[in-house]
Each structure stands twice: as C-alpha cells, then as structure tokens.
Amino acid sequence: MDVSQFTRITGRRALALAIAVAFASGDATSASFPKPHGVLRTIVENCDDSGPGSLRDAYFHAVDGEELDLTQLTCSRITLTTGALTDIAPNVGVFGPGSGAFTIDGNYANRVFVHNGNGALQLEGLTITHGNYSGDYGGGCIYSYGDVYLRDVTVTACSLRATSGSTYGGGIQVRHDATLIASTVSHSRILGHGDTFRGGGIASGHQFVAVYSTISDNTLICTDARYCLGGGLFTHGRTELDFSTVSGNVADYGGGIYHRPDTNDDPLLIMQSTISGNHANHGAGGVFATHTTLISDSTITANSSVLPAGGISFPLTRPTTMYGTIVANNTTESGAGADIAGSKPLVIGGSHNLVMDATVALPNDTLTDDPLLGPLQLNGGPTATHALPRGSPAIDRGINHAQFGEFLYDQRGAGYPRTIGADTDIGAFEASDTLFANGFDVQARRRARP
C-alpha cells in the first residue's frame, strides 16, 4: 500500500507531534494549548459549592475566552452539592495547580462540567471525579456541545445511567473535537436501559487526539442494551493515538477502541502506543477499526474476545497499513484470528511487524514468533508499556519510518531513544540496559546492548 495517501488525511498530526515533542522535552508551557490575546482571567477565591468567589459563580458568568484560575486557592478540593457546573460562554478555560493537587468532586449527584458553548472547554491541572448522570446523550462527568481540551487532567470514577435511546461517554461526551494531553480517563462506566451505549470512557463526535495519555478500566455494562461499542474510546471521525496506553476496558465490540469515520477521509492512526488487556464480549477485544487505518511502532497484546479478533478486527476492506508493530498473544474463544481478523480480501500493507495469528494477508517480512513481552507496567515515562526482554525476536527488527518523521523517542518519551543498537525494535518499547534507563548516557546504553 502507498502510504503517501496518509499525508492528505492527517492534517492534525502536525499539532499532535508538536505537542508531543514539547511535552516530552519537559516544556510544559509550550505543551499547553494556545490562549487568545487579551483574555480575561478570573481568580476563584474559595472552595464553596456556590456563591460569590466560587467556581460555580465564575463559570456560569464567564464571558467568551475567559480563564478561571484555581491555582491561588489554599484548599485542594471543591465538592459540588447543588449539581453540575454549567456555562453559557462559547470558550472557557479552568486551570488548576495539577491533577495530583486539586480535585473537583461531583459528589455522585450530577455531572461535574456541562459546556453549552459551541467553542471549546479547556481544562488543565485537575482531577474530576464522582460525576453521576442519568438520561440520554451522556457524559457522566463532562458533557460538551463543542470541543474539549484536557491537559494534565484525570477524569475518574464517573457513571452514566441510560434511560432510553443512545447514550455516549461514561466519563466524557464531546459533540465535536476532543484532545487529551498527558491526561487519564479511567474507572468510568455506562449502564442502564437503552439501544446503544458508546464509549465507556470517552465518546468523541468528530476528531480525537490523545498524546501521552491513558484510557483505562472503563466499562460498558451491556445487559440491557442492544449494542455496546468502545469500552475505552468511541470515536466518530479522524482519530489519533500517540505515545498513549489503552488498557483494561470492556465492551461488546471494541473493548479498547471502536472507530467509525464521519467522512471518507477520517482514518484511525495509532502511533507509538500500547493497547493491552481490553476485552470484548463479542468481537474486537483491542480495536474495532471500520475504515482506513495506520498503525506504527505500537504494541497490541493481551486483549481478549469471544468472537474474532482478540486484538484487532477489520470488518470492512479498507486501506490498512502497519509498520514496526507487535500484535501478539491476544486471545479469542472462536479459535482462528486471535490477533487480527478481517474481511477478505483485505491485505495489510507495511513492513517490519510481528503478528502471531491472523486471518488476513500480512506483509511478507512479518515475524510470527512470541515476542516474550513483559507485563504491562510503568517502565519509565508517563504511560504503562510492555518491556522487551533480552532475547526477544522483536529486538532490532523494526523500522523508524521516515514517511512519518523519524521518532526521537519510544512511547515513554524523553530519555528513551527510539533506536538503540543495530536497528529500531518492533513495538512501542525500545529495549536497553536498565542501568541507563534515565537516558543520561545513550552511547553507553548502545554499547551495553547484546
């Protein structure tokens, strides 16, 4: 397959890579989203639920482009007792001191944030938790009619109870574009009665980008639903995952990710990322990809399903390309196609991959040996990965493909070069001597490689 076609359909990739490089280099300022000139900034004065000086008051009365500053507060938590925070401004930002330092707690009473504007809700440096909403549409913790930008935000322990129809986003529902930078969406769910549940963690209605982020342990409880799609992430448009991990999510189809295009130019791109330990009660434990797909330098493993495939399912014959990617040790109860299953005559393009079991045609140089992956854990960097041990057949058998701009680092970011030794390793993790895992002596690490 000619990968040049992707240059036409990945216009947002420059933004994602620019943010990734800035964040990996430790430049948190440049990793933030641009702010309009002359913006009004309001300092939130107390941690009360409501009243003068409260976040609720400031958020409700915010004007277009206003920033709400929580960094001056001496408290570390706002607990909402009178329902969700609701705004009317097209664009508004809320900025805290860090996701580990400040929490906005929905108190299980309602959503936490409702953004009614057609612009962007920007959240930085916060934990958002204990949202609980019942009704159609969705967003257990966050609902936005427009876009959502998250940087250093944790959204966790959110619940959405469906009452009828279609329901979206156990943690977050975004009607338009969603961007996550160094953020986590976890332990959220959709349950109840309805036709279709979409996105146990996140449901994005248009473009989606995640960089250095984690989507984990989200669930669609599908007992009383007709379809349950995307345990971690449901996207309806161009989707890009960079330097990120999707793990431990559950749905009927697409335990980790369910991607559906909005137009013919809406691909799924997975770069330097890990998809692990997700489960589908029916098909596609890891990824359900319905349209053009490009996967590079990633690891997709330990996912499971009842129907094919445990790893990735390609139900339609669409352009599909993989470079330097491990898809191995996924399981399915139906037998064949544990790692990759698809509609024939699908032929996957690319090179330098390791795939143990597939029902579709793969590139001629594809390895099929067990990569001997270590457990999913923090091996350095902000997201969990599977390490390659000495002796893995994936070592030095990958490619750092110039078509996409050669990667400086593996999934873990700065201090973990993408290529060490004779060549790049297959997968999201570059093996090295752990003595030099902080990256201070790259040449010594190269000499230490077997």
Listed residue (88, 138, 140, 135) closest to 110, CA to CA? 140
Return the exposure string of 246-275: e unless at least 16 CB atoms fall within 10 Å of the residue's CB, then b.
Answer: bbbbbbbbbbbbbbbbeeeebbbbbbbbbb
200 HSE (CA, 13 A, CB side): 36
Please, how many CA atoms are within 13 Å of residue 428, restricted to the half-sphere of its CB?
Answer: 35
What's residue 169's pLDDT?
A: 96
Q: What residues does each domain of the chain span?
A: 3-389
Cα 268 to the center of its chain, rounded Å: 12
Rg for the chain, CA atoms, rounded: 21
Q: What is the mean pLDDT of each run of 10 residues along the chain (450 residues)?
A: 34 50 47 57 97 98 96 98 95 98 97 96 98 90 97 98 89 97 97 89 96 98 85 96 98 96 85 97 95 95 95 90 97 91 89 96 96 98 97 95 75 96 96 52 34
> Kindly report the CA angle at 212 between 276 and 220, in degrees rounded to 5?
45
Quote the CA–CA distance of 306 and 285 in Å, as a whole number: 8
Rounded Cα distance between 439 and 205, Å, is 39
- For residue 4, which of 294, 327, 315 has the smallest C-alpha distance? 294
From residue 243, give the alpha-carbon distance in Å to each of 6, 182, 335, 407: 19, 10, 31, 11
395 C-beta neighbours (distance < 10 Å), count: 24
User: What integer pLDDT is reported at residue 44 of this predicted model?
Assistant: 98
Fold exhibited by the domain 3-389: Pectate Lyase C-like (2.160.20)
